[in-house]
Amino acid sequence: MSSFKEKVIYQIYPRSFKDSNGDGIGDLPGIIEKIPYLKKLGVDMIWLSPIYPSPQNDNGYDVADYFDIDPVFGTMSDFEALMKQARENDIDVMLDMVFNHTSTEHQWFQNALAGEKKYQDYYLLKPAKADGSLPTNWDSKFGGVAWEKFDETDLYYLHLYDVTQADLNWRNTEVRKKMAEVVNFWLEKGVHGFRFDVINVIGKDAELVDSVAGNEKSLYTDKPIVHEYIHELNQASFGQDENCVTVGEMSATSIENCLLYSQPERQELSMAFNFHHLKVDYENGEKWSTAPFNFQELKDLFNEWGEQMARGDGWNALFWNNHDQPRAVSRFTDDQEYRVAGAKMLAATVHLSRGTPFIYQGEEIGMTNPNFALIEEYKDIETLNFYQELREKGLAHAEIMAIIRSKSRDNSRTPVQWDQSENAGFTTGTPWLKVADNYLEINVKKELASGSIFAFYQKLIQLRKDYPVIAQGNYQRYKDQHEQVYAYLREYQEEQLLVLNNFYGKETQIEIPTEFVSGTVLISNYPQQKVGAQLILRPYETLALYVGDTKI
């Protein structure tokens, strides 16, 4: 069995986790300080968002040097101390590999600007069209066009993301070798995990063409050559480490491709992230909107991905939250009246499913969106760009702020709420991003003393290790047309598991298959009730019924 199937991974966004020196920005010594807390939670691996030298235009996803630590986070000796402390607590480390682009401050790009032809071929530089217009009509994912003038030349460089993030030319063999060198450097430091940022957009065609009728993403996403590049990287680096866990962040991907990325015999990646389930509250596909989530669409996506990835022997990375998403407890539940029950229900939906669960910092104590009042309190480049765009389109300030409060990436980037002291115990200085106002009520210290969400997460993490049906079982939808309940079945050898999740703040009834009526309740977020052929699920109730012979 692949050990990653039993693991639970915890994402740390370093600048918001814990600040040790009072400069308002989280750092590596801050993470070291909290390793015992993560050990107590029970996670197997911590994934750190980028900690490399960077101008921080996109909070570290604009890398200026792949082989060092940004001074804002500490030093290489701090990183080595973190590795040692993690190992002593049986926790592995996963690093973020940002390989689609580099910062324009990276030495390669600077060499290219200085006229060195070798380095110019590291990037996607194209001349304008004959009529003087941009090389293609592509848009940047952060707003505006995807091309920027390359210094005083007649060329433009591609940036699918921020203007300071120049896309690399993966068709260049030398670039691919350099990427393998980066992975091998960190493997030698004892790193056993890698998360590859937007890795499925690295395979651009030799000739780039204009998009027509909304087909832009298909021109650079999930191209067949991407699989060749990832396999080559696997063989030249992390594939040599049998304990290595890898996950690809897949932008606008498909089940067919994620099967290819994650089938063991293909030797690409351990698993894949997809984001389709986090677009079910996009009005007409538009992120910057305030639509209620489409529950049936959410279930259909979970069921389709769960069943097809199981059938094809692929593997999903399961998550609700990360550094780019609003807090799920605010997004999918009533975080005022049912925050605790809602947080547990959301946790159970992914931790009991087929795939490797990821926890994002603060999720295990039920942190919520901060609901900042002022645009000035937001720092995220994407948020600020879209504020300007929506203003130019004529939307009123109040309307835009309502959208931003629900969708900004800063919702998940507010500092972790450790205790009730000033700035929630995150820093003795001024935090780089304001702490959410509810930190007096929601914080680690209070949660450990008298809360129940953290303990619920501890139990879910342990269940995955104790019951093979959770780590290894197949996936099958159950009552998929129910108006309030997302339910699924897991089976492995003689074990069966039925997981029921009420996604609404009102009671509902659901039928229970006969074989589960006498089953064991493995976990629930309410006091246990008698299980009959019909079951009343309370607001945001989650319940897992087990039939089998595993006795813990």
- DSSP letters spanning 346-401: HHHHHHTSSSEEEEETTGGGT------S-GGG---HHHHHHHHHHHHTT--HHHHH
**Inter-residue contact 387 to 397 (CB < 8 Å):** no
* Residue 25, pLDDT score: 97
Pinpoint the residues of the chain covered by CATH 3.90.400.10.
Answer: 107-167
What 8-state DSSP symbol labels residue 279?
Answer: G
Q: How many alpha carbons fall within 13 Å on the CB side of residue 336?
A: 1
Residue 535 bridge partners (DSSP):
510
- Contacts of residue 27, defined as CB under 8 A and 6 or more positions apart, other chains included, come to 14, 18, 19, 20, 21, 72, 73, 74, 78
pLDDT per residue as tens digits for the range 309-357? 999 999 999 999 999 999 999 999 999 999 999 999 999 999 999 999 9
Q: Give 59's pLDDT tier (boundaries 50, 70, 90).
A: confident
Pinpoint the residues of the chain covered by CATH 3.20.20.80.
Answer: 3-100+173-208+222-375+418-459
* Residue 143, pLDDT score: 82
Kindly state the average pLDDT of the residues 406-435.
Answer: 98
Residue 2 has pLDDT above 60, yes or no: no
Kindly state the average pLDDT of the residues 417-424.
Answer: 98
* Residue 48, pLDDT score: 98
**CA–CA distance from 552 to each of 4, 520, 522, 538 (Å)?**
21, 12, 11, 28
* Highest CATH level, class, for 472-547: mainly beta
- CATH code linked to domain 107-167: 3.90.400.10
**Inter-residue contact 421 to 432 (CB < 8 Å):** no
Q: Give 529's pLDDT tier (boundaries 50, 70, 90).
A: confident
Residue 1 has pLDDT above 60, yes or no: no
Catalytic site positions: 197, 249
3-class SS of residue 445: helix
Identify residue 3 by its one-letter amino acid code: S
* Residue 381, pLDDT score: 84
Pinpoint the residues of the chain covered by CATH 2.60.40.1180.
Answer: 472-547
Question: Exposed e or buried b for every residue in 304-338, given b needs 16+ CB within 10 A?
Answer: ebbbebbeeebbbbbbbbbbbbbbbbbbbbebeeb
Only one residue has tokens 């790193």, namely 191
* Residue 325, pLDDT score: 96
**Inter-residue contact 233 to 183 (CB < 8 Å):** yes
How far apart (Å, rounded) are the C-alpha atoms in residues 247 and 318? Answer: 11
Q: Give 8's pLDDT tier (boundaries 50, 70, 90).
A: very high
- Contacts of residue 10, defined as CB under 8 A and 6 or more positions apart, other chains included, come to 38, 41, 43, 45, 46, 47, 358, 359, 360, 361
How far apart (Å, rounded) are the C-alpha atoms in residues 294 and 279? Answer: 9
Q: Which of 361, 500, 395 is nearest to 49 (CA)?
A: 361
Residue 403 has pLDDT above 50, yes or no: yes
Residue 278 has pLDDT above 80, yes or no: yes
Residues above pLDDT 70, as percent of the chain: 99
Between 401 and 213, the more confident residue is 401
* Highest CATH level, class, for 3-100+173-208+222-375+418-459: alpha beta
Q: Give 552's pLDDT tier (boundaries 50, 70, 90).
A: low
Q: pTM score, two decimals?
A: 0.96
pLDDT per residue as tens digits for the range 94-143? 999 999 999 999 999 999 999 999 999 999 999 999 999 999 999 999 88
